[in-house]
Each structure stands twice: as C-alpha cells, then as structure tokens.
C-alpha cells in the first residue's frame, strides 16, 4: 500500500503556501494561478488518501452527488434556502409538502459535499453553490447533463465494449442514440420542446458566464483594419451562428460596424431575423456540409461547432470552408476549448467525455487542433487564450 511521510506532507504544504502567496488579494482575479493551486490541492488530497478510500469512498460514489443535487433541485428544497436563513428538515418539508426523513437523508450527501451547509442537526443553509443553482439557466445546465447526458454516459462502457473500443464516429449510431432508442440529441429536442428549452436556456447562460471571444481576440486589429475597401466586402461570416447572438454582441463596438456581417444556419436555428436586420446583419440559410456561398470573406467564424463532431466530419466542414477562403487574406476563427497537450485539467477532461457521450464529438488538445487544421489545408496562425487557459480563439489561414 502506498504511504507518505510526514516530511513529504509538510513539503507539499509548503509548496501550496508558496503558490498561494503568488495569488493577488482577490484570489478569483487570477484564474490561471487559482486553477493551478486547485490542482495542487487535489493532488495533495489524493496523496493522503489510500487507494481503497479513493475507489470505495469516492470513485464508486461519484454519481451520488449529482443524483442528490438533482433531487433537491426538482423538489424545490434549494428555493426554501434562498433567503440565506438556516432551515430545518421539518421547515423544508412544510414548505414543499415533503417528508423530513427523506430530506435529511438526501441532505446528508449535499452537506458532505458542501453543496449545502449544515448548521446543526438536520438544519441547513445555502452555500454559493446552492445560490448558483437557483438561477434557472445554471439549474438547466444540471438538468441537461444529468437528464440528457446521464443515460448516455451510463451506457458508454457497454456501448464501447460492443463496438470494439473504438472512438464513436457517427452521431446517428453513437452512444446517445444507442441509449435513447435511436434518437440524436437534436431529434430528441425536436420531439420534445421542453427538453429543447432546457438545453437552450443553459447554453444562453453559459455564453453569458464565459468571456466574449472579442475579449480574447483583437478583432479590430486583426480583421477590421485589413478589410478590403469595397462596398461588398464581408467582414465576418458566423457559420452555424443560430439566432445571431454573437454578431449582435459584436456590433455593439462601433469599430466593428464596417463591411457586411452574415450569420448562417438552418431555418429553425435562425428563427426571427428582425433584430438582425435592425443592426444590418444579414441572415442566410446554410448547411455547413454544403459549399460555402460567400467567397473571400475576411473571416469565417465557428463557435462551439466542431466539438460536436468527430474528426472526419470536422475535416469536411473545414475543407468546405477553406475552399471559400482567399489566400493571404481570409482568416478562419475557431472559438472552442483548446486543451493542453498534457496535464489536462478536470474541466477539459470531463467536457471531452461528455461530448463523446452526447454528440460523438470531442474537445481537442493544441496538437490535435494543429493536426486537424493541417489535414484540411489550413495552418494555425495563433491560438489566443483567455486567463482560464481553455477558452480560446484559434486563428487559422490557408496553408498553400
């Protein structure tokens, strides 16, 4: 059995102290250092945990936290704690027509994992995590990953075994469809509008909760200042851009209100284009597996598109887009996670497995992005990364 000396433990704690001293007064202001410290803390915790404790105290029981949180969310127990005042199991039960014994048993899991704070015997208060889940958008994020992704993830070991442990390549026969009676995620959402509302609500909230791509990528210097002088010049084509929220935000900066701006997607995704017209944004029906009708634009933009697809489909999308680009002028901008080539943080690793289970897609490392773009006749000019270290904008151009 592995062991750890007291001296090694003290040395690890000293290293943590040194790392903590490098943080600013506002710890949350430096995401990169804070996340590094989190990794050190996690490794120290694992170092002082036996293998048996890890397997039978943690790994076997990881689903329990999300199950308990999902129960509390739907039973509206978090709403009772919203005022910040401690509540007993009996008080929560009276407010929600529940049973105190069940509430106490579920709350054992939530207090043990700090989702809820325990203030005394069967007495509970909200934490920042509880408060976050009171926001409908973030609550729908839990519903999406639990309700939609959960069955697919649970099915994944059996699916991979039956398919010879190969990376899934077709969403129509992938892990999600296998778990959902042949339905893809999009088919599920089309058949059940309430499920679509859950997903769309979460995605809108997630966009609001992350940095804008223009905070990472200097669009004015890299695009606007080199736009050709022509009345018909296209500054930016947002491929698969849905209702145009990215371009609507983009034109809030007066420096970006030059040239044509075009959002492309399928009719159902485009929806009402009235707001787009008010801001001189063109809406165009387009399927990104067909030839790109706009040739020689300054930039073609893909946000959270390629992570939905396996490499073969991505190569097709990229090759089609590259065929419309102009050598030495056009840029392809890919707004996605870029994972490090090693020491990948949990967020990136978990997102990747989720994309495999949900869409037969993938989150990709820097090396994988370089290789994928090269295979489509493109080359990476630069990867612009945020302080978070994962959210990035890949700037690419024609290689030949």
Nearest CA-CA partner of 337 in 325, 326, 351: 351
- In this structure, is the dihedral angle defined by the CA atoms of residues 305, 308, 311 and 317, taken in order, positive or negative? negative
Query: How far apart are the C-alpha atoms of 390 and 149, rounded to whole Å?
Result: 22
Tokens of 185: 């995620």
SS3 of residue 161 by DSSP: helix
DSSP class per residue in 119-134: EETTEEEE-HHHHHHT
Our answer to whether residue 307 is catalytic in this structure is: yes
DSSP class per residue in 324-385: HS-TTT-EEEEEEEEE-SSS--HHHHHHHHHHHHHHS---EEHHHHHHHHHHTTEEEEEEEE
Question: 154-185: b or e for each residue (b if 16 or more CB lie within 10 Å)?
Answer: ebbeebeeeeeeeebeebeebbbbbbbeebbb
Query: How far apart are the C-alpha atoms of 318 and 306, rounded to whole Å?
Result: 9
Inter-residue contact 381 to 396 (CB < 8 Å): yes
**Count, residues in the chain:** 400
Query: How far apart are the C-alpha atoms of 348 and 100, rounded to whole Å?
Result: 38
Query: How far apart are the C-alpha atoms of 193 and 76, rounded to whole Å?
Result: 22
Residue 151, Cα to own-chain centre: how many angstroms? 19
Inter-residue contact 160 to 357 (CB < 8 Å): no
Query: How far apart are the C-alpha atoms of 249 and 95, rounded to whole Å?
Result: 41
Tokens of 179: 């778990």
The residue annotated as part of the active site, out of 148, 256, 307, 370, is 307
Tokens of 108: 């054992």
Residues serving a catalytic function are 307
């Amino acid at each position: 059995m592995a062991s750890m000396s007291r001296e090694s433990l003290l040395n690890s704690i000293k290293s943590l102290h040194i790392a903590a001293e490098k943080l600013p007064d506002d710890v949350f202001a430096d995401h990169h250092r804070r996340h590094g410290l989190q990794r050190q803390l996690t490794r120290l915790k694992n170092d002082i945990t036996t293998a048996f404790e890890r397997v039978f105290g943690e790994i076997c029981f990881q689903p329990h936290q999300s199950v308990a949180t999902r129960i509390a969310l739907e039973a509206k127990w978090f709403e009772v704690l919203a005022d910040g005042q401690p509540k007993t199991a009996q008080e929560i039960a009276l407010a929600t027509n529940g049973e105190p014994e069940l509430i106490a048993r579920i709350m054992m899991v939530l207090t043990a994992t700090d989702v809820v704070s325990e203030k005394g015997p069967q007495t509970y208060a909200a934490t920042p995590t509880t408060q976050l889940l009171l926001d409908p958008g973030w609550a729908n994020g839990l519903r999406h990953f639990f309700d939609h992704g959960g069955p697919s993830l649970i099915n994944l070991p059996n699916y991979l075994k039956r398919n010879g442990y190969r990376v899934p390549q077709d969403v129509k026969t992938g892990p999600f469809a296998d778990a959902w009676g042949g339905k893809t995620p999009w088919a599920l959402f089309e058949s059940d509008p309430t499920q679509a509302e859950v997903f769309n609500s979460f995605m809108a909230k997630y966009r609001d909760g992350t940095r804008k791509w223009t905070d990472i990528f200097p669009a004015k210097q890299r695009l606007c200042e080199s736009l050709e002088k022509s009345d018909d010049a296209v500054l930016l084509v947002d491929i698969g851009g849905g209702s145009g929220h990215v371009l609507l935000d983009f034109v809030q900066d007066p420096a970006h209100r030059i040239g044509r701006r075009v959002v492309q997607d399928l009719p159902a995704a485009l929806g009402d284009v009235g707001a787009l017209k008010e801001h001189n944004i063109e809406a165009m029906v387009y399927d990104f597996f067909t030839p790109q009708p706009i040739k020689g634009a300054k930039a073609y933009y893909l946000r959270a598109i390629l992570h939905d697809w396996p490499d073969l489909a991505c190569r097709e999308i990229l090759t089609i887009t590259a065929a419309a680009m102009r050598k030495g002028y056009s840029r392809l901008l890919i707004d996605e996670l870029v994972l490090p080539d090693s020491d990948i943080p949990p967020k990136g690793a978990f997102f990747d497995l989720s994309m495999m289970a949900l869409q037969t897609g993938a989150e990709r490392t820097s090396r994988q992005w370089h290789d994928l773009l090269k295979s489509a006749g493109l080359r990476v000019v630069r990867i612009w990364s945020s302080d978070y270290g994962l959210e990035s904008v890949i700037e690419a151009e024609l290689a030949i």
